[in-house]
Structure 1
Amino acid sequence: MKNTSAYDSLHTDRYKSVVQRRDLQTLYTEASQASKQGVLQGLGPLEHVFTLFLEHEQRLDPLSTDELLALFDRCSDPEKSAYELRDVLHQLAPGNGRIGHQQVSILTNHLRQRVATFLRQNHYPFQQLLPHDHVFGSGGDFCKTIHASTAAAILAAPFIKICKTGTTNVTSYHGSAQAMLEFGYATRTLSVTQLNSELEQFGFAFLPLSALGFPYSQALKEARGMLWDEAREQLVSRCAIGAPDWQATMQNTAIPMDIFKIVSPNAQVLHPQHHTTGVCHAHMLPYVLSLYLHLNSQGFIVYSYDGIDEFATASSNLDPHNHNNLLIWVRANDIVITECSPEDLGFPRAPLSAIAEEEDLSATNDELKQIITGHMRGAKRDFLVANAALLLVAAEYAPVAHTDPIEQIRMAARLIEAKIDSGQAGENFYHLLEAHNHR
């Protein structure tokens, strides 16, 4: 049963601040340390991670652009083994002494150009794609939660247009490309006409990144899995996942970062109007935020303190006063930074096990179908609804004229729930599948 009085009954002492985009940009320039210190003090929960980031940037001995691009392109070499590519990933890991935010921007530009060339050579007129929004988690939840970004996009589609991109699994049991295929949504050809038709009629379309010319091979997947295993081992050697000290361990343990979890989700090659993403580790945030500024993006960046790359309605800390999520709302002129708990949105807090991913893809999709069609309630539905609500607010589909982003998300969640309970969310999705498969 949803706890609708939680928002009013709890103390609302969660952190919230508003930073001007131009001020935050100072942290990525050669401005004086005094100027940067003034900005840092306004970042609240981000101050610690940005302090570490700036210390790294000061010590940076960057790779040359030629070295950088050669390493990145090596990830597409079919002759390289997974072990060789794991070493390449270590060399490309942000925070390793050689890769800073400028290198991340260079690689993003390089990937965007590669995809643009691929689309042009294959005569795909993606500049004709309808205006749309985009959501893509970084993947790699250390708690292995149910895949949320695609389901959230499906639930938001009756309200806004979302062209979702995704991949097969790298560090989870399965990825969005596999989930969509299991649903019956098979991408046979890249047709802008078909994508536009689906966006216009149903508000949703899907494309795997592999169909857009992204670097993606079995060896690279295995190498990225090895890197994630290393990161996970560093964490679990200090604390069991979900134990009382788990959030503190996540905050205080540095891990090797996967460049593809930063660049690929945020390259935004189809030029969405708004882009929402998540990260599974706080140290990724300065680099992802730098890309929002670099590409002049708007939307949300989400981080759950339990190491989940979505807004989590479950937590290792069951105290309702524990704000277990960090939201960064990047707007046209400013950036809102706020903490948030499930209770703030009117949801009861669940244990992490309640939103765990199923290893069996068909079982996972059965649950998603039950949620989308309104036949299943509980923690997993709350999890998906909360993340769908973020997409509505990111798209400026404002259910209420309210200055508090949490109140906007809370009201958006009620709109999503009403659409599910009326049967319209399920009807929209199944009509989409029917139309897609009869073309």
Structure 2
Amino acid sequence: MSAAGTHSGYDLDDPRERARLRALRDFGLPDGEHPAADDLSALVAVAAAAAGVPTAAIHLLAGDEQRALATVGFEIAALPRRDSMCSIIVDEPRPVVVADAREDPRFSANPFVREGRIRFYAAFQLRTDADVSIGTLCVFDDRPHVLGAEQRSLLQALADRVVGVLELDRRVRALSDEVRALEEVRAGLRADNESLRAFAGQVSHDLRAPLSTMTLSLELLGVGLAQGWSPPDLEPVLARALRGATRMRGVVENLFVHATGAPASPHPVDLGSLVEDAREDLGPALDGVDVTARALPVVVADGPLLRLVLQNLLSNAAKFTATEHGGQVTVTASRRDRSWLVEVADHGRGVPEAERERVFEAFARVGEHEALAPGTGLGLATCRAIIEAHGGRIGLRETAGGGATVWFELPDPR
């Protein structure tokens, strides 16, 4: 119901207007009914009673509109700033009290004043702690009126209380946001702790078997040496201990790459030689599986890291191929425009299409594969980290005739 004739009172380039809009956003205003609407309505009713008038409002100046946050005696929610009386005096340093608006040149042309709907007008600025005026607590009447000093003091206290209510709500909302954020962090930490607990258990499981093999083999080796066994008798015991050490090294290498990333130092390496190295490292893990490497090229890669990729892929392929009934694993490479495409194919159970991306996530285990071939769930995640460190890509598709083919692409500008 406040108005100002042709005066718009709104200039977005005015620093005061920008500060006002920022303050309103901080308060979450204006944006529908305020959570403290009942308290604000009560304050407006008290303001009207204190001034001895039938109408009062809390007006906010937001952009090119004046919006009523709470009212008593009328129900105008919003009107243009050009018709706002409050817009004229919102940045005045002190409250404005006009006994008869028809006699005040600032307001005499206002349509509400000309129509006789407003004669008495008093506005008390709503100032934030940062001294930004976001609107007014105003009281008005269609008859001239005078406010006494005590009434002015009470209305000023009510205006301050309005800002206090808004500030309290802002702080409550901020605190609620912080509590929600902390709850999310706590939930994330709880999930991380569960993952770490499961991971620690799985790593312990994976290390326990090769460590037991090494321990028993070394103990047996000690017995053999004490009893004077011949070298041919000692060799299989020593070989068993070395295989246990190799398996432990594979687990540790995967952990290291996962924890530190995979800083690659590419140089020309023979892919065929790396496959042979990986086969030798895996040893008995490949029993019953025929690994065939077909005409593998020299590629540009970090040799030790690429060997770890091949070791993981051959180990995975062997687990699931051997689980079926024994079978063949094939390693092939084909030239692309500026890269090499390397594929490791098995003919085991394969991986459902919906799970083919997830298997490259750390700690991911897919359905029945977990029971068939327990592990840390780091192997393929390690492979992806290494291949991406080389600027390449890695993926999984179905092998023709059944099974899984893991492929990776290595850039090679030569």
**Pairwise TM-score range, normalised by the shorter structure:** under 0.3
Greater relative contact order (Cα < 8 A, sep 6+):
1
TM-score by length of 2: 0.22
TM-score by length of 1: 0.21
Higher percent of residues as strand:
2
